[in-house]
Amino acid sequence: MVDQNPSPVGVADLHPTDEAIATARAARRASSDAPLLAAVRGDIPSRRPVWMMRQAGRSLPEYRELRREVGMLDSCFRPDLLAEITLQPVRRHDADAAILFSDIVVPLKAAGVGVDIVAGRGPVLESPVRTAEAVGALPVVEPSQLEAVVEGIGGILGELRDDQVLIGFAGAPFTLASYLIEGGPSKNHGVTKAMMYSRPELWHALMEKLTPTVVRFLQVQIEAGADAVQLFDSWAGFLSLRDYREFVAPYSRRIIDAVRPYGVPVIHFGVNTGELLGEMAAVGPDVIGVDWKTPLDVAARRVTASLAENVEAGGPGSPGVRAIQGNLDPAILLAGPDVIRDQVARVCAEADRAVAAGDARGHIFNLGHGVLPETDPDAITRAFAEVHGQ
């Protein structure tokens, strides 16, 4: 039997020590005036910061050559490859941020969970986690199991300019839980949501197990020198607002609370989350990522209004504005130089309207999801240059 009211891992249990905070501060080398950090604070950056999700990966021929005989997860645990792959797009595109090359299942793999990334399919579990016994047996990652990631970060930091930041990341508990429950990628997350509805006590027990793993994965990256982190809830858009509040938000909030003492910006992003943006902002990130389906000025206005309503109703969170990140449709990069130029200008104008209206502190240009593998790298470089010219 699963405890009907499982004791949560308290926020205090997950918070870093003063020594860990000092270690992280000493490891960070980016200037406080780096464009991305300035935009998050609401200062005027020296140029509009831009990075792209999946900027490191299959769109780059140098990546394909490097990974020709190395499995995806294997490359995430080889410090030399991890560092080189992370840096490839930064060198090529003049990005304002490097995003750590990794995968959301890396902390599960490091902890000993049987998972692999199958080409053409994605993460696949040896045994789905659908019973109380399986949840109870699920390990929580230990920092010592992530030493390869720490070493890889060390190799990245020395290659970045002081105006370029390193962003660490982790998958949020709902997305991790869905892979564990479904046994792999799912089109509708039906088995996952069925567990939520029919066995909420089992669902919450699983989320309690996953939350410290996510926290530790982020903390290890920050203490190794990451200047910011992004919490991906890739599949949260499949949830209703009510279900997100009940089954997901408390755990995402606990994760963000546990990394806040480090003083690094936290970005929160999910796909198809237009109706959830306010609730996602309420869990405490500094930056809210927006997919390409909602204009940035509309999204920022929605977030600001939702946060104010949430606080008035006695809910958690602050009514303050957030920075926004996004939100070019990845397919635009396939459409030619003129379209790229016009669409980059449109996204920047929408973001500027949000800032001028007081609904956003600043803007980090990004895609509304990840770079498509068939994208011409020169189109990405061109888009970065267009953003820097705005």
Binding residues: 54-58, 103, 179, 234, 369
Strands across the sheet containing 322-328: 97-99, 165-171, 228-232, 266-269, 287-289, 322-328, 360-367
**In this structure, is the dihedral angle defined by the CA atoms of residues 28, 34, 36 and 39, taken in order, positive or negative?**
positive
Cα 365–chain centre separation:
15
Binding residues for substrate: 54-58, 103, 179, 234, 369
Whether 103 is a known active-site residue: answer yes
Return the SS3 of 165: strand
Q: What is the pLDDT of residue 374?
A: 96
Whether 260 is a known active-site residue: answer no
- Out of 63, 179, 244, 251, pick the active-site residue: 179
Residue 7 has pLDDT above 60, yes or no: no
Residues in the chain: 390
Least confident among 60-64, 193-197, 306-310, 348-352:
306-310
Residue 122 has pLDDT above 70, yes or no: yes
Residue 315 has pLDDT above 90, yes or no: no
Q: pLDDT-based confidence at 321, cuts 50/70/90?
A: confident
- Out of 29, 41, 47, 58, pick the active-site residue: 58
Q: What is the pLDDT of residue 118?
A: 85
- Out of 54, 130, 322, 382, pick the active-site residue: 54
Least confident among 7-11, 247-251, 269-273:
7-11
| pTM score of the predicted model | 0.94
The whole-angstrom separation of Cα 289 and Cα 367 is: 9
Return the SS3 of 209: helix
Q: pLDDT-based confidence at 211, cuts 50/70/90?
A: very high
CATH number of the domain at 11-388, please? 3.20.20.210
Mean predicted confidence (pLDDT) in 257-283:
95
- Out of 41, 47, 67, 92, pick the active-site residue: 67
DSSP code per residue over 46-109: SS--B--BT-SSTT-HHHHHHTTTS-HHHHHT-HHHHHHHHHHHHHHHT-SEEEPP--TTHHHH
- Out of 28, 63, 96, 103, pick the active-site residue: 103
Whether 58 is a known active-site residue: answer yes
The whole-angstrom separation of Cα 204 and Cα 23 is: 33
- Strands 287-289 and 322-328, by their bridges, are parallel
Mean predicted confidence (pLDDT) in 87-116:
96
Whether 67 is a known active-site residue: answer yes
- Strands 122-125 and 115-118, by their bridges, are antiparallel
Mean predicted confidence (pLDDT) in 1-17:
56
